[in-house]
Structures are given as C-alpha cells and as structure tokens.
Chain A
C-alpha cells in the first residue's frame, strides 16, 4: 500500500510539474536536473554504501519506493524550488521560499523514516537539514554561473 500511495504522489507531482509554467529557461532546468541527479545519487551512495549511516529497507516494495524518491521525487522538488527562487528578485523572498522547500523536502524524508524505508544509524535530523540546505545553495550557485554563460550566448532568459 505504501508503494501505491507513493507512486500516486509521484505521478501527481510529475503531472503538476510538467503542466506548471517554468520560471527558468529549459536549458537551466535541464542543467539543474542533471546536476541534482548526479549530486543527490552521490550523496546517497556515500551515506548508504560508504558510511552506512542510513539503512534502506530490505523489503522489495519499500526499496523501489526509496529509489523512486531518490531518482524522481526529491530532485524534482529541488528543481521546483529553484524555479521559484530564480523568479524572486529580493533575497529575503528567496530565503523564505528556500525555507519552505527545505522543510518540504525534509518532510518527505521524514515520511520515509516513519514508514521504515530509511532507518537512521548515527544520523540525525539536523544533518539532513544541513545537507538539503547545502545542496540547494550549491545548485543555486552553479545555476548563477550557467546563467552567465547563457547570457553570453545571448539566449533569452
């Protein structure tokens, strides 16, 4: 049942994401999605395989659920957030949006912890919050550099 619920959430999210008008240029969206996938799977690889501070459920359905979250849902949530941040002019507004999305992304992780998809071992909430914030910041900085390149090529962004 958990997998079905999660699949439905992912599908509804995917539909909303694709029908929503994006604030960023398609090049920026592709760039961010690829960067997020690369960094996020690397992060999971380090904490789950190398450091073993996260244990992933052995149950097949929960394992699939974890992978869907890792490869589709979470990176798209970051991307959604960065789209909104990219459209805001004031720094305070950017910070507000970031805080909302950091709590949203963490809530999703918390749900997986509650469902025993992820089992924390020597890991705590603040570390997750720190990683989410850092990943958001790093992606945003990379976006700024990429945007400069697009402007140089006279792309309408």
Chain B
C-alpha cells in the first residue's frame, strides 16, 4: 500500500538523522507550554505539510515529487513527522523570547527564510524534486502557514488559560 524505498540512499538517511536530532532537542528543551498545546502544534505542523503536499504534488497538478516516486511512500509519512519538531521550535522560541508587536513580522520573515534554506538543502538531498515548482513559491507558503501557526498558538494559549480549573497550573506551565 505504501511502498518502502527500493534503495536506501541519501534522502532516507537525511530524513532519519534530522528527525532523530530534532526529537532529541525537543526532549532536552525545558518545557515551556502545556503538553496539550505542544501536541496540537505538532499535529498542526505535519497536517499542514501533508495537506499542501497532497494538493500540490498529486497527479493532476503535480508541481513536485516527494522522496523517490510520485506515490505516497512510507518515507513520506516519516518526512511529515519531521515538521512536528520544527513547528514546536517555531512557537517555543516565539514564547521564549516573547516576540510581540511588529517584531512578529520580523520573526515570521526570519523563520520563512530559514524554512526556505532548509528546503533548499532538502532539494539537494533529493527530498523534493521540483517540476513546475520553485523555491520562491515555498517562501510565500511558509509566510502563510507560519502566520496561521502563531494565530493558532495564541488562540490555544488563551483558551487554555481561560478553561483551566486551577489557575496555579497555568503559572506552573507558562514559565516566565
């Protein structure tokens, strides 16, 4: 149903190594937000990646390929997991350095540039094979999705603070 790679080469190794390293960093970082918000941000990150890839790279539109073939491979699934820690880092640093006001725009632009740079490296390792797609389009997609991520994060944070029965818990989980 979901083909495994015929040759286990650089793109599979790249995904596994980056995923492992990023998960280790997530584990080692001190917790700054409730687990429920972490879970939702992580699921949001890989679902948005899945949705955009599904709509843009499926047969009729076919702007690019992911991993080795046009099919939905097992390693595509692993690749989506890679978006989860990056989504977490994005909101973690946002919360840690307390980005507010117009600095949010700068923050999104910086992360979109980082996302584009990371994608450029991914293209080098054959994670993505562009057909009609170009890296500059990805930048716009990153700006859009990262803005949505911050909107979602702020909404979740507010909801969590309003809905928690014990206010002390919020003081513990949102370390200042």
Binding site for B on A (CB under 8 A): 25-27, 30-31, 34-35, 37-38, 41-42, 44-46, 48-51, 56, 58, 63, 67, 71, 146, 149-150, 152-156
Contact = CB atoms under 8 A, between A and B. Distances in A.
Interface in B125-164: 152, 156, 159-160, 163-164
Nearest to A36: B47
Contact of A41 (B2, B54, B70, B169): B54
A46 B1 contact: yes
Given A38-B46, A50-B3, A149-B35, A30 B40 contact: yes
Interface stretch (B7-15, B21-29, B55-63, B97-105): B55-63
B72 A50 contact: yes
A103 to B, nearest CB: 26
Contacts of B70: 49
A53 to B, nearest CB: 11
B39 A146 contact: yes
Given A27-B156, A154-B169, A49 B71 contact: yes
B88 interface: no
Contacts of A155: 36, 160, 163-165
Contact of B39 (A42, A49, A149, A156): A149
Contacts, number: 85
8 contacts: A34-B43, A38-B43, A38-B80, A41-B51, A46-B2, A50-B2, A71-B55, A153-B173
A34 B47 contact: yes
- Which of B1, B43, B80, B164 has most A Cβ within 10 Å? B43
Given A46-B2, A50-B3, A156-B165, 8 more contacts: A27-B36, A30-B156, A45-B58, A51-B1, A153-B36, A155-B163, A156-B163, A156-B164
B50 interface: yes
Contacts of A25: 163
B47 A37 contact: yes
B75 interface: no
A13 to B, nearest CB: 19
Nearest to A67: B55
Nearest to A149: B36
A76 to B, nearest CB: 14
- Which of B50, B156, B173 has most A Cβ within 10 Å? B50
Contacts of A30: 40, 44, 152, 156
Contacts of B3: 50
A35 B43 contact: yes
Contacts of B152: 30
